[in-house]
Structure 1
Amino acid sequence: MKLNKKYFKNRHDAMQQLIDVLPADTMKYEEWIIIATSAGAVPIAYELAKNLKASFDFMFSHKIEAPNNEECEVAIVTESEEVVIHEELVKTFDISLDFVFSKAKQVYENEILKYIYKYRDGERLSDLHNKNVLLVDEGLNTSLTMMACIKTAINLKAKSVSVAVPILPTVSAPIIESIADDLYYVRKLDHFVSIDFYYEELEEITFEKVQEITKG
């Protein structure tokens, strides 16, 4: 039994496999905006946008860690100040909601706004009103970031919000399907390790690299 199964050579391979599960022929007749929900998702989302002749954008978000534990992600805040909380962890570690929302405000002002001004010249996310949105990532671990991005797109009045990822845990699928219009994926695994476990190559994508990709 091969324990370390690599399903994707790299992000380009993941994009090619992902486009095969998307209703690409139908999507080309509608107005779509493809949004990367992480820096690592940009190479996949940008290529998908070109293939589908769709607009491309990036949604900034940042994790909120538990007090004194940088490895424990208890919430996500996005660039529209939407906050999604991992309720079980917050309850387990007895973390107050006041802490979470105070930390979210701090992270938004100190981190997210910095990225918006540095990489988008201070411009906010594109107008999503009455647009079909496809949120893309290189895979899902906890799904918290994707849930926050879905919530953001819905609150920005998107016409529809769909999600496309190469790989995700089986337990995440019903969570995403309950709040998104559609979920597209290549692989769904019962015993999920981590995203990078399933790629032969998954280089780090910095925001400088993001600029290089999207302006190339």
Structure 2
Amino acid sequence: MIKDEIFFKNREVAAYRLLDVLPIQQMKLEDWIVISSSFGGYSIAKIIADTLDAKLDIMFSDKIVAPSNDECDIAIVTEQEEVLIHEELVKCFDISLDYIYEQSKKNYENNILSLINDFRHGNPLENIKYKNVLIVDEGINTGLTMMACIKTAISLGAKSVSVATPILPSASVQTIESIADDLYYVEKLDHFIGIDFYYDTLEEIEFEDIKKINKGLN
């Protein structure tokens, strides 16, 4: 690996570089809620939330994979049961909508509900109606999860929805900007390989790690 291809030493460094591109002083004058769209983005979201003295939460979601290929994500279901479908892949694999919605229901009931119960004692996502929401992740690959989280925030009545991520493919910029109020990033790349490729260290984050990070909040 060429050294110059690594943009961030770790998540902490990525978070502080992301803070450099956020309009922090203006945001401090407003009412914001910071929401991580993944386990991996939670520690970055925490640093940003602490800087803004804002509330922090996470939006749980789960991937729906193709019937014949468990490495191929064809849709995302969020904790509000919002389902975002990768229409090109679904058409390519000739996958029925019945299959997608059946799987989304199973994933919600078997996976997402247990996370909500464990993390928030069964309580729903922090009330974001009429509030500014900043959705944060450690990076964006296809953008499917982020788009699902944005649409969920909009459906919950957020005043505005912005996205902050250290790195993403150039191809995702226009898609996200088409529905988000603002998009903040450190690096965008035309030839994107994968999020972990651009970090020197990017340990896998499990649910138990999120709970540990969350201790002492609120």
TM-score exceeds 0.5: yes
Which sections of structure 2, spanning at least 5 residues, go unmatched? none
**1:87 corresponds to:** 87
1:204 is displaced (CA, Å) by 1.1
1:52 is displaced (CA, Å) by 1.0
Q: How many residues align?
A: 216
Spell out, residue by residue over 1:168-211, the C-alpha distance to the aligned partner (whole angstroms, 9 max, x if none): 00000000000100000000000000000000000111111111
Alignment-mate amino acid for residue 114 of structure 1: S
**2:149 corresponds to:** 149
Alignment-mate amino acid for residue 14 of structure 2: A
Task: For residue 16 of structure 1, give the secondary structure of its aligned residue in structure 2.
Answer: helix
1:2 is displaced (CA, Å) by 3.7
Give, in whole Å, the separation in 2 of the partners of 1:56 and 1:91.
Answer: 37
Give, in whole Å, the separation in 1 of the partners of 2:55 and 2:126.
Answer: 10
Give, in whole Å, the separation in 2 of the partners of 1:4 and 1:97.
Answer: 43
Task: For residue 94 of structure 2, give the secondary structure of its aligned residue in structure 1.
Answer: coil
Alignment-mate amino acid for residue 9 of structure 1: K
Task: For residue 81 of structure 2, give the secondary structure of its aligned residue in structure 1.
Answer: coil
CA RMSD of aligned residues (A): 1.1
Q: Does 1:203 align with 2:194?
A: no
Alignment-mate amino acid for residue 59 of structure 1: M
**1:115 corresponds to:** 115
Percent identity between matched residues is 60
**2:180 corresponds to:** 180
Alignment-mate amino acid for residue 212 of structure 2: E
Contact residue 11 and residue 44 of structure 1 kept, 8 A: yes
Spell out, residue by residue over 1:44-94, the C-alpha distance to the aligned partner (whole angstroms, 9 max, x if none): 001100011111001000000000211000000000000000000000000
Task: For residue 171 of structure 1, give the secondary structure of its aligned residue in structure 2.
Answer: helix
Alignment-mate amino acid for residue 172 of structure 1: S
Moved more, 1-10 or 128-137: 1-10
**1:76 corresponds to:** 76
Shift >3 Å, 4+ stretches? 1-4
Give, in whole Å, the separation in 1 of the partners of 2:125 and 2:116.
Answer: 9
**1:215 corresponds to:** 215
Spell out, residue by residue over 1:116-142, the C-alpha distance to the aligned partner (whole angstroms, 9 max, x if none): 111211111011110000000000000
Alignment-mate amino acid for residue 173 of structure 1: V
Give, in whole Å, the separation in 2 of the partners of 1:33 and 1:62.
Answer: 22
1:4 is displaced (CA, Å) by 6.5
Give, in whole Å, the separation in 1 of the partners of 2:196 and 2:186.
Answer: 15
Give, in whole Å, the separation in 1 of the partners of 2:57 and 2:16.
Answer: 19
Alignment-mate amino acid for residue 160 of structure 1: S
Pairs within 5 Å for 1:134-145: 134-145=134-145
Give, in whole Å, the separation in 2 of the partners of 1:49 and 1:86.
Answer: 31
Alignment-mate amino acid for residue 79 of structure 2: E
Give, in whole Å, the separation in 2 of the partners of 1:59 and 1:76.
Answer: 12
1:214 is displaced (CA, Å) by 1.4
Which sections of structure 1, spanning at least 5 residues, go unmatched? none
Alignment-mate amino acid for residue 132 of structure 1: N
